[in-house]
Structures are given as structure tokens and as C-alpha cells.
A and B are shown apart, each in its own frame.
Chain A
Amino acid sequence: AQSVTQPDIHITVSEGASLELRCNYSYGATPYLFWYVQSPGQGLQLLLKYFSGDTLVQGIKGFEAEFKRSQSSFNLRKPSVHWSDAAEYFCAVGAVAAGNKLTFGGGTRVLVKP
């Protein structure tokens, strides 16, 4: 069965500092990998996704993620965070043969200090 682990439950970062959120996945076949963001009281919004090709993926809001097959990781990064980046971030994995069913990690809540 596929699984996703986000080791950091909470991360606090100063505005303007860099941010990296960790994601490790377990899946036997070629996965689709996603990062979604959830602002307070809102649904989830797609930041970026990876399936194949360039292992460094650019997303919206200045985020990027790097797929490392050897480490089964798909970490999310942003060079300089803004106060509006305070939210909860979810990594998710989908299977090529399983349609659009996703398995989500437990989420990482990001707090941004002024």
C-alpha cells in the first residue's frame, strides 16, 4: 500500500527566510507526486505536481519541489517566505493505474514570524 510521511508537524520560519518541507513516500510503481496548500478555513489548492521529466518542478506562489527517487522524497522549497505563506501543506501520492485517488501525508503547519 502506498503511504506518505511528512516528518515535521509544525515549522516556524521568519518572513524572508527560506523554507523546506519534507515529504517521503512509499509506493512500488511510478507515482504521481503532489503538494497542496490549505489556508485556514479553506479547501486545498494545488501548488505543483510531478510525474516524469525534470526532477525539479516549479509551482505557483514561488514554490518548487525536487523529486529524488533514490531517497523516495519530494521536498518542497521556497527561497523567501511571505506572511501569506502561513498555511498547512500536504504532500500526496497517486498511482498511475489508480485514477485520481490520492494518499495524503499528515500535513505540515507553517507559521511565519514577522
Chain B
Amino acid sequence: NAGVTQTPKFQVLKTGQSMTLQCAQDMNHEYMSWYRQDPGMGLRLIHYSVGAGITDQGEVPNGYNVSRSTTEDFPLRLLSAAPSQTSVYFCASSYSGQGGGEKLFFGSGTQLSVL
């Protein structure tokens, strides 16, 4: 079982460059989300999706775009990278959790540095 797969594992960008962090899950989960992890701040929700074609903003969405064209994939786009986006990014998925409380399955993370 692959679970949640994130690529790349490491990335260095220059300010103003764009890139896409990839996330794929093979568990047929309806719910997918992106978090960023910064020291002392835990994980903060960037964007989430409750199904193909449906996305919404989380706590810290500025500077990031998402789309969900298939159930399996949920890419995160940085249109113009800024040093403040230096962080570790985690993708997570779960069953729909419309009532909440579902277990999140996390990818292994992408460490991004913006110079």
C-alpha cells in the first residue's frame, strides 16, 4: 500500500519562482488537505477538499492554489514563492469525515526552502 505519496521530498526555490507540490493517495479517500509545519506552530491548514471538483480555504491559504480534478490527486501550487513559504508541507487524506473525527493519513512531507 502506497498510502499518501508526496513529491518532491526536498525543494529549493528562488523568490518569485513557481512550483507544484504533488500529492496522490490510493485509498479512495474523499477528503484531502494540505498543511504546513513551522517550528513551534504545529501544523496549519492551507487548503482542503471534500471531493473531486470541491476545494476550500483553510487557515493560511494566501499564496497557495489548489485544484482537485480526480479523487486521487491534490496538487498544491505556489505561484510566486516567498521566503515566508519556507516550511515543511504535509498532505493528508481521510474518508469523508463530514461529521468529523476521521483518522488522517499523512504523507512523509516536502521540505521547501525559498531563498
Q: Using CB atoms and an 8 Å cutoff, list the residues of chain A in contact with chain B.
A: 4, 6, 9, 32, 36, 41-46, 49, 51, 90, 92, 94-107
Contact = CB atoms under 8 A, between A and B. Distances in A.
Given A98-B100, A100-B101, 8 more contacts: A4-B42, A46-B103, A90-B42, A94-B101, A97-B100, A99-B50, A106-B41, A107-B42
Nearest to A52: B101
A99 B97 CA distance: 5
Contacts, number: 77
> Which of B40, B97, B99, B101 has the most CB atoms of chain A within a 10 A radius of its CB?
B101
A6 B41 CA distance: 10
Interface of B: 4, 31, 33, 35, 40-45, 48, 50, 58-59, 90, 92, 94, 96-104, 106-109
**5 residue pairs, one from A and one from B, having the closest CB atoms:** A43-B106, A100-B97, A104-B42, A32-B101, A104-B43
